[in-house]
Amino acid sequence: MNRSIKIIGIIGAGTMGSALAQKFAQEGFTVILADRAIDFVEKGINNIKNSLQEGFDKKVFTQDQVNHTLKNITGTANIEDLSICDLVIEAIFEDFDAKIHLFKHLSKVVSDTCIIATNTSSFSVNELSEYVTNRERFIGLHFFYHAAKNRLLEIIPNLKTSPQVFDAAKRFAFLAGKDAIYCKDSYGFVVNRFFVPWLNEACRLLEENIGNIPTIDAVCMEKFGIGMGPFALMNATGVPIACHSQKTLEVYGELYKTSEKLIDQTEINQAWNLEGEILTDEKIRNEIADQMLGIEFLVCSQLLDEKICSATDINRGARIGLKWKAGPIELMNKYGEPETRRLIEKTAHKYNTLIPLSIGKAFWKQEFVTYEKSGRNAIITMSRPEDLNALNEDVMNQLLDKFGKANMDMEIEQIFLCGSGKAFVAGADIKFFVKNMKARSIENIERFTRFGQEVFELIDHSSKKVIAVLNGLALGGGLELALCADLILALPGASMSFPETGIGIYPGLGGTQRSTRRIGKALSKYLIHTGKMLSAKDAFEIGLVDQVISVEEMYGFMYGNLPLPSPTATILSDKWLAVKNFFEDHTLNELLTHQVHDTMISKEEADRICKTLSFKAPIALHFADKLIEDAKGCADELIYLPEIFKTQDALLGLTSIGQKVAYKGE
């Protein structure tokens, strides 16, 4: 059965439906936005126009992008017009009877191959599926506000959803620019299950006269690392929505009973009053923290007990969907098992609830690198989109484990390295470097880098054919990982660079050596010294990437029988030949002192390159230049690590990401 999704129907032109229509149209899908009256549809399309205009004013979109998006959207008040859709998503108001009436009608309108999805946040996907013809093609796709901007998507199969439909939903999430988490059908799914009781608990604190609204919000902002407290959040999203969502969770018992304060506030239909004094009494603040952390940890542990989802899904839901700096799993790891258990037991005792079994590090382990086998192919995906798949010790260990598994499997012939979300891998985890530099524990950085080099060497020298597929950002360590592959493929939107010299350091995972092997010393110097961001097209033109491919080709290579392209010899254009000659004809010192000879590139371009280098960290530049010139192998990059990470330039650069800094060469 063909599960290719190109035409999408959205039923419901309200806030959620119009945002979904906008997002899918932005990503190139043909979208039909439907509602029961054309007035509603026109209002939804106007909302899209206003949102796009706002994006244009902020220079998020070009006028061409705005025009292209609007061109992809048509509106209708006739549900029969959805008969041509490959996927239809229901996004109407949360009324069970209205939804089942819609699904009964829709089942008669669309083709047998059309996937039908619900965006419900309150009802059981399995129960709704009973009113759809061919339950195998029904699935829950729960998007988050604002759906055109928020990348999180919960994918919830019903008991009879077919594997083909589930796979199609996962691919659709990727194509639609969403970061998906997966869960069994359960009221509240993942995020609402732990987030709504957290809001409700804040109301209970108010009900019990434990602190006032400003204090509860302030403590929560501090403890959870968030920009808005629970009451401010309810005001932003709607107090009645929180109340309705909590009521649907009451099936889980006393712990989930809706606060009378929340019910009262909903009935008077007013926002919470956020004004007032923030209390400083430590006893009050500690009690607020205990109850808010306790409810969060208890509910998340119940989710793990019930095997609704993984620890990774819980944490990712909070990080991406709610924009929390640290998710519940990270917080439990931070507080440790004894303190987490104390908070859970205190909350469980208060609400006469069983203490979950899933407490402890064994249950809090997150999977950041996934492994999949498809015929003779192994597909290893860097899956930490909430942090742009940045490399840290956990990620590197998991990469070693997954690659080792593929490497040892006699049935595997090809190993694909991929990324999830917006990045392939956006470099190493900067926080790790800063933490150890401030603690004067440079040996930890050396140990991590040495281990990273060992992992990359294993990949580089594998007897299997290794293919890197760059889906998005490949920065620093991410580009170094890709350079270990035999074949580097890139999607059109991929981009890559070596930004290290701009943040006070140099590539340490083989970047100075493997780039030289691929594109030569001169172009490696251009990339590493300038930190130039290359598009997929630019990278192909200089031979850094073997081929730019479509998403369809990517899936064909990994899951189908599409033969891989063969690397071809790179013939540099005059533009790139000029850049190559420029870096061959000038030493680093000549460029830094602007002693430029006659050159193939224009004076303006030569001045631009010299000016760019003047903003880089000079010590890092000299180390990188020497490593490229000497070309003695990746291990040589370890020699200068202690020196570079002890410089003030490195500390300044790594703690000032995204800011303009003046390096002193110290």
Kindly name the residue from 500, 541, 553, 637 that is annotated as catalytic.
500
Which residue shows structure tokens 């006070």?
Answer: 504
Which tokens sit at 618? 């000079």
Least Cα distance to 14 among 525, 575, 603, 37 occurs for 37
Residue 376 phi, psi (nearest 5): -90, 5
446 is catalytic: no
- Please say whether the beta carbons of 1 and 82 come within 8 A: no
16, with CB counted inside 10 A (0-12, 13-18, 19+), is: buried
d(CA 417, CA 551): 15
Which tokens sit at 296? 């969060």
Quickly count: other Cβ atoms within 10 Å of residue 111's Cβ: 10
Which residue shows structure tokens 């009900």?
Answer: 207
d(CA 551, CA 643): 43
210, with CB counted inside 10 A (0-12, 13-18, 19+), is: middle
Q: Residue type at 513?
A: Q
DSSP category for residue 365 = -
Torsion over CA: 222, 223, 224, 230 (sign): negative
> SS3 of 258, please?
coil
Which tokens sit at 92? 């109407």
Which tokens sit at 50? 């206003």
Residue 367 CB partners (closer than 8 Å, separation 6+):
310, 312, 383, 398
> SS3 of 534, please?
strand
Kindly name the residue from 90, 136, 296, 480 that is annotated as catalytic.
480
> SS3 of 324, please?
coil
Least Cα distance to 363 among 314, 291, 295 occurs for 314
d(CA 518, CA 538): 14
Radius of gyration of the chain from its Cα atoms, rounded to whole angstroms: 27
Per-residue burial over 249-275, b if 16 or more Cβ lie within 10 Å, else e, is: beebeebbbbbebbeebbeeeeebeee
> SS3 of 372, please?
strand
Q: Which helix (H) or strand (E) holds 20?
A: helix 15-26
- Please say whether the beta carbons of 136 and 162 come within 8 A: yes
457 is catalytic: no
Q: Residue type at 646?
A: K
d(CA 33, CA 234): 28
Largest CA distance in the chain: 82
- Please say whether the beta carbons of 473 and 495 come within 8 A: yes
Q: Residue type at 623?
A: F
d(CA 41, CA 77): 7
Which tokens sit at 446? 């050396």
Residue 325 phi, psi (nearest 5): -70, -30
d(CA 512, CA 498): 10
d(CA 366, CA 311): 6
Residue 511 CB partners (closer than 8 Å, separation 6+):
476, 477, 479, 480, 483, 498, 500, 528, 637
Catalytic residues: 480, 500
